[in-house]
Chains A and B, each alone.
Chain A
Amino acid sequence: MIKQTTSSFLASTNQIWRNEKSREIVIQVIVLIALGWLLTWLVGNVSGNFERLGKDLSYEFLGIPAGYDINQYLIPYNNRDTHLRAAIVGLLNTGLVAICGIIIATIFGLFLGVLRLSKNWLASKIAYWYVEFTRNVPILLHILLWHGIIINTLPHPRKAIDIGEMAFLTNRGFYLPKPITEAGIELIYLFTTIGIIFSILFYKYANKLQENTGKQLPVFWVNVSVLIILPIIAFFASGMPVSLSIPELKGFNFRGGVQLSPELIALTFALAIYTAAFIAEIVRAGILAIDKGQREAAESIGLKSNKVMKLIILPQARRVIIPPLTSQYLNLTKNSSLAIAIGYMDLVATLGGISLNQTGREMETMVLVLLIYLSISLSISSLMNWYNHKVKLVDR
């Protein structure tokens, strides 16, 4: 009796195991259970250890004054503000570097990628060596190198390199004149808005005209002139309501104007030129992925080579380029956390650095930093996925 049950049980398990579908389900369930167990154990272990050390998880420290100063803030900040505000200042600094870095890297990478495919031997070799050299050196070295170059080769503020008595280059950073708005500035804003609206309408009109008649209008030049001339007219018409705050050497350092710190410049520049090398390769791959028949067809209808690139090749290459490009944008953003090596006050240096240190809340701050980076990365991904979806080939 018992033997029979056992054998029928074995037989039925055998059957489950032999059936591909049920076997897959069984394996997945086992893996899921194992993962769940591991996760529970990890969480339990952490909380157990915390209890043992007499520590608790608490985010109350975010509400108390941070007490330290930050040298670059995009929103008003002083040392009496809370740790939360200090973290936001750091987050914005991360954002500034990431956005500037992404823009410069994209433009530069696109340029290099096209240059790499150029028929001009020298241009293509230069791009080749640039890419090979840059992407094979760790990013941290790039950052340290550029920071070192700025602080060791540029002069002290008292001997600053002066550009037209307006801007100054020193080893404490670049000081630029800062526009200060006065009463009457509204007119300039109004005219600029009108200029932008006009450019958009003109662009649409020119496109339509070309579709209908084949006639081409000089859209680029017209729009650029409108966007420049209208604000200038408004500037003079409203009695020049903008003045410049020019940096001046007072005491130890320059005061007034805008200061770009050596850390900001070095970090942005290093991230941009490093990522540009990868983007160049992605762009090259994207262009090479387009069948050469497309180029030949475009040339045969008489398009010039820059038009071939702009109108035929790049729009198609875009579909190949975007997914790997997304991952480069993510890399650049995450690499910006290396800011800590040169003392740029980003999210890791404020919340994950000084705040951590002053409050001793390692777990809380690190979890928060992790979640913030995760959400930044996921936002960039979804934005790029949306764009990818928009440009991808639609089956008809």
Chain B
Amino acid sequence: MKLKMLLATTVAGVMAAGSVLAGTLDDVRARGKLNCIINTGLAGFAAPDDKGKWQGFDVDFCKAVAAAVLGDAEKVSYTTATGKTRFTKLAAGEGEILSRNTTWTFSRDVDLAQTFIGVNYYDGQGFMVPKKLGVKSAKELDGASVCIQTGTTTELNLAEFFAGNGMKYNPVPIETNAEAQELYKAGRCDVYTTDASGLYATKMSFDNPDAHMVLPEIVSKEPLGPVVRHGDDQWADIVSWVLRAMMAGEEKGITSKNVKKLAGQDNKDKEINRLLGKDPLQGLSKLGLSPDWAVNVISQVGNYAESFERNLYPLTIVRGMNALYRDGGLHYIPPIK
């Protein structure tokens, strides 16, 4: 009898464990918190502030999803991951979203059974050198020692760039950004390479940022974006439309300051009405979101431009490719109809 009970509970337990995938939204609601996987520390994207609270561009996105789903941007618990552990952690269910400067590539999308829900930052791999080295172009780096953060697409780009230009180099693979910085500062390497956004973030954290420069060459395409597990389309849709809602906010001039006012009035632009829940948005109930989802996102976190300015302007990063299409950038979102 007891054995039967034990068997039954074990089987039930295994079956329950088997149903992790479906109903991610229900899991999050039941828990009352969103689990979000972020960087171990990269200024501007995910780094603790002086009160120990996580801040940054990627952290903002976690907050935005929590605001849309739970109505409160603070209901997020963060898990950090290195470049190496991030996919394992996502696959193992340690978080519902991986919001950690992750490059969208074919094999990650297809082979690792993950869903990239969009691009929130267009990046490219660059090189940083001390100014006193006297190097003006990445093509002058023949024979250099190069510090690389492992577990990224960076290693492959680096190998291809150097081989393509007939140059040799000495790779020094490092596990996290913080350790890589230490080695670069100690002079173990001549060059530090990672995504250009990461280089600017690293440079700003130095005592004397002016002594270093980011070389003009960008040697790869690095579309960075949030990732979710394969298999729950409802959840993937929610996450991707939260990102689009932030961009739509910028496009339509909806900011954290005026969103409440715009939501309370009938706007000439009906798209604003639909986004902010004034007019019905067909299919919203299928996503399981309440009509004020986008209001919560924009009022608590801000639109895309606000998040960008708050987190990335201090690093001297400009909008560039990350401007909206109408301002000469690449962000172009589908209409909200």
Residues of A within 8 A of B (CB): 45, 48-49, 52-55, 67-71, 79, 151-152, 156, 171-172, 250-253, 255, 262, 340-341, 343, 345, 349, 353-354, 356-360, 362
Contact = CB atoms under 8 A, between A and B. Distances in A.
B84 A252 contact: no
Most buried by B among A48, A52, A69: A69
A252 B170 CA distance: 10
A262 B112 CA distance: 35
Contacts of B229: 53
A172 B188 contact: yes
A150 to B, nearest CB: 9
B150 A71 contact: no
B186 A357 contact: no
Contacts of B88: 362
Contacts of B172: 71, 343
Contacts of B284: none
A351 B114 CA distance: 22
A147 to B, nearest CB: 9
B112 to A, nearest CB: 4
A151 B143 contact: no
19 contacts: A52-B21, A53-B91, A53-B230, A67-B156, A68-B159, A68-B171, A69-B158, A69-B162, A69-B169, A71-B170, A151-B183, A343-B174, A353-B84, A353-B151, A353-B173, A354-B150, A357-B150, A359-B107, A359-B111
Nearest to A349: B173
Contact of A357 (B151, B170, B188): B151
Contacts of A68: 155-156, 159, 171
B173 A152 contact: no
Given A252-B145, A253-B143, A54 B231 contact: yes
Interface of B: 14, 17-18, 21, 83-84, 87-88, 91, 107-108, 111-113, 133, 141-145, 150-152, 155-156, 158-160, 162-163, 169-175, 183, 186-188, 190, 229-231
Contacts of B107: 358-360
| Chain B interface main SS type | mixed
Given A171-B187, A255-B143, A356 B113 contact: no
Nearest to A357: B151
A262 B18 CA distance: 47
A251 B113 contact: no
B187 A156 contact: yes
Contacts of A53: 21, 91, 113, 229-231
Contact of B108 (A45, A345, A360): A360
Contact of A71 (B133, B152, B160, B171): B171
Contacts of A349: 150, 173
A357 B230 CA distance: 18
Contact of A54 (B87, B113, B163, B171): B113
Most buried by B among A53, A54, A359: A53
A48 B171 contact: no
B151 A70 contact: no
A253 B87 contact: no
A212 to B, nearest CB: 60
Contact of A45 (B14, B160, B174, B186): B14
Contact of A151 (B14, B21, B188): B188
Nearest to B152: A357
Contacts of A356: 84
Contact of B188 (A45, A251, A262, A358): A262
A79 B18 contact: no
